[in-house]
Amino acid sequence: MRLSGVKLKHRKHTSDCVPQRLPVPEYVVIPMAMHIGKPANPIVKVGQRVTVGQLIGEAEGFVSSPVYSSVSGKVKKISTVTVYGGMKTQAVEIETDGLQEVCETVKPPVVNDFDSFVKAIKDSGITGLGGAGFPTFIKIGVKDISMAKAVIINSAECEPYITSDTRTMLDKADYIFKGIDLVQKYLEPNDVIIGIENNKKSSIAKMKEMAQTRANVQVKVLPAIYPQGGEKVLVYNTIGKIIPKGGLPIDVGAIVINCTTLAAIAEYIETGMPLVEKCVTVDGSAVAEPKNVIAPIGTPIKDLFDFCSGFTTDPKKVLYGGPMMGIAVPSLEAPVLKMTNAVIAMDEKDAKLPKPTACINCGECVNHCPLKLDPRNISKAYKLNLVEDLKDLCADLCMECGCCSYVCPANRPIVQNNKLAKAKLNEYLREQKAKEDK
C-alpha cells in the first residue's frame, strides 16, 4: 500500500510567537466529556468553592478520564452544554476569584514501576492533546510491554495554522525529553523516534540537539505532506509498518504519542499539577493579532479572540482545530477543551464553500487518499444505501483528513459524504453484532 496526501499552504504565522498567558477569565465552563469514551461524573455541588487542580469530575468506566478545576472560585452551576461535534454533556461552570489558589491535593505522584506510571497518567487527566482526545493511559498501558518495540513521538503538526506543538518543542523541550526518559524506563522500547515535518527548522534543530544526549533516540525529518501526523501515516513513514484494518499501532510494535501529550505527562509527574490549561493557537483570516495563548481549560474562546485584539471582520466560521479536520464551534461561548490545540476564525472569503458540480471521475480523490480508499464509490454506495458495499470498500477506515475534498476539481463534499457513510456502516455493524449476540 502506498501512502500519499496533499501539499498545503502551511500558514504557520505564529510559529515564532512565544505563548502568552491569558488573564484569569471571569468564569470557565468545564465539560465532563473532553475525550473519547464515557464522560466523567461531576462530584462538586453548586456553591462549593474549588481550587486549581481539584478533582471535579471522576472518571466513569474504563475508557474515561478525570476532570480537574482549572481555576479557583465558586461553582455557579452544573448544566448541559454542547461541545465538540455537537455532543451534549454535563459541565461545571465556575465563577473565578482571580486568586488561582492551588488545591492541597496537588503533589507529585509516586512512580516506581510500569503500573504506577500508567496510573499516574490516568490520574493526570491527560488525553491526546494533539486533537484526538483518546485517554493516554490506555494507549500507554499495553498488556505486554515487550510488544512496544518503537515509541513514535508525533511532532508533525501537519494542519495549517496550528503551532502549539511547535511551541512545545521550542519552549518545553526539556519536558519532552523527561517524558522520553520515563518512556524508556518503563516501556523499554528499542527505539524512540521523533517525527517532524521538514518545515519546522527550529524544532528539528532543538530536538536533534537534545537527542544527542540520549541513547536510541532519533529525529526523523519527514516531508511536509498532509496528513503526515495521521497515526497510520506516521507509523508507515517512520518505521515502514502498515497498521492492519481495525488494528492499532501496537499491533505493529509501535506506540504513538503526541509531543505535547508527552511533555504534559512529564510535567505532571514532576509537579503533580494535573491537566488544567492548554496552549492554543489563535489564528485565521478574521483574527486581528494571531498568537499562541495559554488558557485555563473551560475558558470561553471569545476571551481568546479578545486577547488577540478581536476580529478584523465579522467571522463567518470558527473552528476547533485546523481547516482540514477542524470542527465548527456552535458559538463563541464554546470552551477551551483538553484537546483544543487551536481556534481558527475565518472571514467570508475563506469560509465560503465553492459550489459543487458533477463528478468527472478523474480519480484525484483516490490518488491522494493516504489510505488508498475509493471515495467515489463510497459516495455512490452511501447514496444507494448499499451498506455491504460500504463494508467491502472499507469506508470505516477513512480518517476524515479531507484530502479528497481538497483536490476535487468539482468541489464535491466528499469527506462529508465519507463521514455519513461511516456512520451508516457503523450503525449497520452494531445491528449485525446485536443480532449475533442474541
Helix, strand, coil % in the chain, rounded to nearest 5: 35, 20, 45
Under 8 Å between Cβ of 125 and 338: yes
> What percent of the chain lies above the pLDDT cut of 90?
88
Under 8 Å between Cβ of 322 and 227: no
48: Cα separation from own chain's centroid:
31
Q: What is the pTM of this model?
A: 0.95
Instruction: Kindly state the cell numbers that stand for 232.
Output: 497510520
pLDDT category of residue 3 using cuts at 50, 70 and 90: low
For residue 434, give the amino acid letter: A
CATH topology of domain 114-271: Rossmann fold (3.40.50)
Looking at 143-152, 186-195, 317-326, which range is the least confident one?
143-152
Helix axes 173-187, 201-211, angle to 10 degrees: 50
Mean pLDDT (the chain, rounded): 94
Cα torsion 343, 346, 350, 355: sign = positive
Looking at 196-200, 204-208, 426-430, which range is the least confident one?
426-430
pLDDT at 285 over 70: yes
Reduced 3-state DSSP string for 141-181: CCCCHHHCCEEEEECCCCCCCCCHHHHHHHHCHHHHHHHHH
| Domain limits, the chain | 114-271, 364-437
φ, ψ at 102 (rounded to 5°): -85, 140
pLDDT category of residue 1 using cuts at 50, 70 and 90: very low
71-104 per-position pLDDT tens digit: 999 999 999 998 876 778 999 999 999 999 999 9
Query: Which helix or strand (DSSP H or E) is residue 191 part of?
Result: strand 191-197
